[in-house]
Amino acid sequence: MFLKIPFFGLIAKRSPMDGLVEHYDKISECVATIDESLECYVSGGVCREFEELTKTIDTIENHADKIKRNIRNHLPRGLFMAVDKSTFLNYTKFQDNILDAAQDALHWLGMRPVAIPNEFQKELINLLDSVRHATELLGPALKSTIGLVHGESLDRSGTKDCYRKVRHERETIRKAANKLQGRIYNSDMDFKDIYQVIHFIDCLGDMGHNCENCVDCLRNMIAR
């Protein structure tokens, strides 16, 4: 099994796993855009820049799709993959799902103006911070895994610790989202507003869930 790594290095100038980092960088851009959008939204409804921010995230997502297709269309034959091909493809799917959920989150937020009550504003922003943190933690987990797979690092323990941090943050997101959704559902907000905000929170939860799916795939890549 370990012979696959040097074989791969002999026949390919660039590992397909390096493309995952390029794709991951688009997640960071998307989350930064949502962060900016929510701050704008919560502070005063649909502000003037909101539509521009929505277009920005659509552009980022389209660029990420091109990167994903390029990765998948240029995979080497199965024998020369450094990791199991199905695991690799599952990872690309889950990482792309993070971007799709981010795009859906912004879609729900921008569907119609909703006045977020003061009592929920801080919790919404804290939830988004946790989602941003989970996506930020995914970056070191991915790069550390690539280092192990390519034989550039021997730090299996440190890599597994990166996975645990993502899972821990995912659990924080899950609990915070459930608590906030319960409070909003039982509030005096208009039902259309409740429906819209709860779906926005669902999308944030999906982002955290797919971060966890990503590290599960990464863990499989280094399994002995």
Q: Tell me the residue range of the domain where 56 lies.
A: 16-222
CA distance 155 to 152: 9
Averaged confidence pLDDT in the chain: 85
Asked if the structure places residue 11 within a domain, the reply is: no
Rg (CA), the chain: 19
Residues with Cβ within 8 Å of 112's Cβ and at least 6 positions away in sequence, in order, are 192, 196
At residue 110 the predicted structure's pLDDT band, cuts being 50, 70 and 90, is confident
Asked if the structure places residue 217 within a domain, the reply is: yes
Average pLDDT rounded to a whole number, residues 88-97: 92
- Which residue, among 177, 187, 170, has the nearest Cα to 117 in the 3D structure? 187
In terms of C-beta density within 10 A (0-12 exposed, 13-18 middle, 19 or more buried), how is residue 5 classed? middle
Q: In this structure, what CATH number is given to the domain that contains residue 189?
A: 1.20.58.220
CA distance 1 to 10: 16
Q: What is the pLDDT of residue 26?
A: 87
Asked if the structure places residue 64 within a domain, the reply is: yes
In terms of C-beta density within 10 A (0-12 exposed, 13-18 middle, 19 or more buried), how is residue 130 classed? buried
- Which residue, among 129, 153, 210, 150, has the nearest Cα to 18 in the 3D structure? 150
Q: What is the pLDDT of residue 109?
A: 82
Task: Report the domain count for the chain.
Answer: 1
Asked if the structure places residue 95 within a domain, the reply is: yes
Q: Tens digit of pLDDT for each residue in 193-202? A: 999 999 999 9
HSE-CB at 157 with a 13 A cutoff on CA atoms is 0
Asked if the structure places residue 6 within a domain, the reply is: no
Asked if the structure places residue 40 within a domain, the reply is: yes
Asked if the structure places residue 4 within a domain, the reply is: no
Asked if the structure places residue 45 within a domain, the reply is: yes
